[in-house]
Structure 1
Amino acid sequence: MGHADAHRLKLLSYNIQAGVDTRHYRQYVTQGWKHMLPHRERLQNLNRIATMIQQYDVIGLQEVDAGSLRSGFVDQTEYLAHRAGFAHWYKQVNRNLGKLAQHSNGMLSRIRPSHISEHKLPGLPGRGLILCRFGGVTGLSVCILHLALSRRARLRQLAYVSDLVSALTHVVIMGDLNCSCDSREMRLLRQRVDLQEPVCDQSTFPSWRPMRKLDHILVSESLRVENARVLDYPLSDHLPIGIDIVIPKGMDLAA
C-alpha cells in the first residue's frame, strides 16, 4: 500500500470543476470563458490540488476534463496522478464533446484495484459511475459518481446504484450527488442499502460561503470511520470531503 497505513485508508471526494477556481457567484458570468478556453491559472490550480491530495490513498474526482481545448488537452486525472504520485488512475468520460470538452469522473489510488468497471447512469446522457474493487468481491468496493440536477433523474440513478451495490459487503459511495442528506433521494438510498454518512452537518457548496450539502461520502455500517470532515480548500466551487476508514481485520486490499 505504499506509504499508506496498512490498517487505515484515507479517502477523498472532490468536484474540481475542471480546475477552475471560482470564488464568487459573479465569476460564473465574468469568468465563464474559463469553462470553454484554456488558461494558465487552471494548471496552477491543478498543482495546488495535487499538493493537497498527496496525503490521501483513494480519491474520487468529479467534473474532470479528460483532455480537450479548455484543459489545454491535458488529461486532468492522469496529470493529478503523476503530480501527486499516485500509481493507479482511471477516467470515465461521460459527456464527450470532442475537442471542446471531455466531461469525466476520475479515480486515483495508491493501491492497485482488483477490478474496475464503469456504468452509465439512467436519465439523460452524461452521468456515470466508476466502481473500483480492492481485494476482490469480499474486499472494499468504492463507487465514484456525479448525479443529475433533476430530482426525478437522481431518484432513478440512486435506485440503479442501490441495485448495483446491494450484494456487496463493504461499500463506499462518494461524489457530487446534487442533493442534501435529508433529501428524498438519499432516504431512498439508505432504505435500500445499509449505509452511514458521517459528515452531514457540514456544507460543501459554494466553496467561498458553504450553504448546501451536495457532496457526500456514504459508508457501509460494517466499516469504522474516523476523521470525517469537509476540508477548507476552496480550489473549486465545491469543497472536498475526507474520511479515514479503519480496515476490518482479515481484509487484504492488495489481494
Structure 2
Amino acid sequence: MADAPTPTLRLLSANIQAGSSTRAYRDYVTRSWSHVLPSGKRLNLDSLAELASNYDLVGLQESDPGSLRSGFTNQADYLAERAHFPFWSHQPNRRISRIAGSGNALLSRLQPTDLLDYALPGRIAGRGVLLASFGEGADAWQLAITHLSLGVKSRQLQLGFLAELLADSPRLVLMGDFNCDFDAPEMRALYRGTSLEPPPHRIATFPSWAPQRGLDHVLVGGFKVLDYKAVPAAGSDHMAVGVELLPK
C-alpha cells in the first residue's frame, strides 16, 4: 500500500490596518477619522474572515485588541469566530489610551503546543513577536509573527534579537510586516543565524492599490515552498502574503 501523501500547510500573513480601508494615498488624510472611529470596519473584517477561511494558519499584524476605533472588539477574536478557527491568540504591543491599540495575532486550525510572546528592542517601544510551537519530535516546528519598525537602526536590533531567538529551530516560519525588502542589508543577520531562507521570488505588497514595495514576507526554513503570492486583504493598505508549504 502506498504511503499517504504528506499534508501541506496553507499560511497567510496580513497587516490588516486595524480593519481600516485605504485605497489611495489621499485616504490617509481624507479617511483619517477611521484611525479613531469604528465605522466601516466590520465589513472589512468580514471580507478578511472570508479570505482567512481558506488557510490553516493566519498571522495578523496591526490587529486591534479592543479600543474605540474597533468598537471595543478584539479583532483577532472576531476573525477567529467568523472564519471558524478553533485556536487564536493576540499579542497587544501598542495602546493609545482607549482610542487605539495594535498588535500581532494568530488564528490557527492546529492546536499549538506552546505560545510565547516577546517585546522587541527598538528606539520606540511597541513592537513584538508572537511565537507558536506545533507538533512533537521530528514533526515539531515553530511559527513567529512580527511587525518590525520603520527605522533601519531599530530593525537591526530587532532582527538580531529574532536571529538569536530562532537560532535553534530547524523547521521554522517567520512572517509579518518587515518594513523592508527581504534582501535589505539588515536582513542578513537573520539568514546567517537561523534556518530561514529568502522567499522564492520577489512580490510587491505596498501600497495595496498599486504595489511597488515588498515589505511583507513569509520566510521559511525546513519547508518546501509550493506557492508564494500576494493576496488582496480587504481594504488594508498592505497586500497579504499567502503560501503553501510542504515539510522537508
> Structure 2-normalised TM-score?
0.94
State the distance in 2 between where 1:53 and 1:32 align: 26
State the distance in 1 between where 2:117 and 2:201 align: 27
- Partner residue, 1:251: none
1:154-173 alignment runs, 5 A limit: 154-173=155-174
- Partner residue, 1:146: 147
Structure 1 segments unaligned to the other structure (5+ residues): 249-255
* Residues 191 and 198 of structure 1: CA distance in aligned 2, closer, same or farther (over 3 Å): same
Q: Quick one: which amino acid aligns to residue 35 of structure 1?
A: H
Structure 1 residue 29 corresponds to structure 2 residue 38: no
- Partner residue, 1:50: 49
Q: Quick one: which amino acid aligns to residue 187 of structure 1?
A: R
Structure 1 residue 69 corresponds to structure 2 residue 107: no
State the distance in 1 between where 2:233 and 2:104 align: 20
Name the SS for the 1:52 alignment partner.
Answer: helix
State the distance in 2 between where 1:183 and 1:154 align: 10
Name the SS for the 2:213 alignment partner.
Answer: coil
Structure 2 segments unaligned to the other structure (5+ residues): none
- Partner residue, 1:178: 179
State the distance in 1 between where 2:200 and 2:218 align: 8
Structure 1 residue 20: Cα displacement: 0.5
Contact 1:14 1:240 in 2 (8 A): yes
Deviations 1:36-65 (A, max 9, x none): 1121x1000100110011010011000010
Structure 1 residue 8: Cα displacement: 0.9
* Residues 110 and 27 of structure 1: CA distance in aligned 2, closer, same or farther (over 3 Å): same
Structure 1 residue 199: Cα displacement: 4.7
- Partner residue, 2:196: 195
Q: Quick one: which amino acid aligns to residue 238 of structure 1?
A: H
Structure 1 residue 78 corresponds to structure 2 residue 74: no
Deviations 1:71-98 (A, max 9, x none): 0011000000000000000000101223
State the distance in 1 between where 2:35 and 2:134 align: 34
Name the SS for the 2:121 alignment partner.
Answer: coil
- Partner residue, 2:121: 122
Name the SS for the 1:195 alignment partner.
Answer: coil
State the distance in 1 between where 2:196 and 2:73 align: 36
Number of aligned residue pairs: give it.
242
Name the SS for the 2:92 alignment partner.
Answer: strand
- Percent identical among aligned pairs is 42
* Residues 233 and 118 of structure 1: CA distance in aligned 2, closer, same or farther (over 3 Å): closer
- Partner residue, 1:106: 105
Contact 1:115 1:136 in 2 (8 A): no
1:193-232 alignment runs, 5 A limit: 193-220=194-221, 222-232=222-232
State the distance in 2 between where 1:187 and 1:78 align: 35
* Residues 29 and 84 of structure 1: CA distance in aligned 2, closer, same or farther (over 3 Å): same
- Partner residue, 1:60: 59
> Structure 1-normalised TM-score?
0.91
State the distance in 2 between where 1:224 and 1:182 align: 20
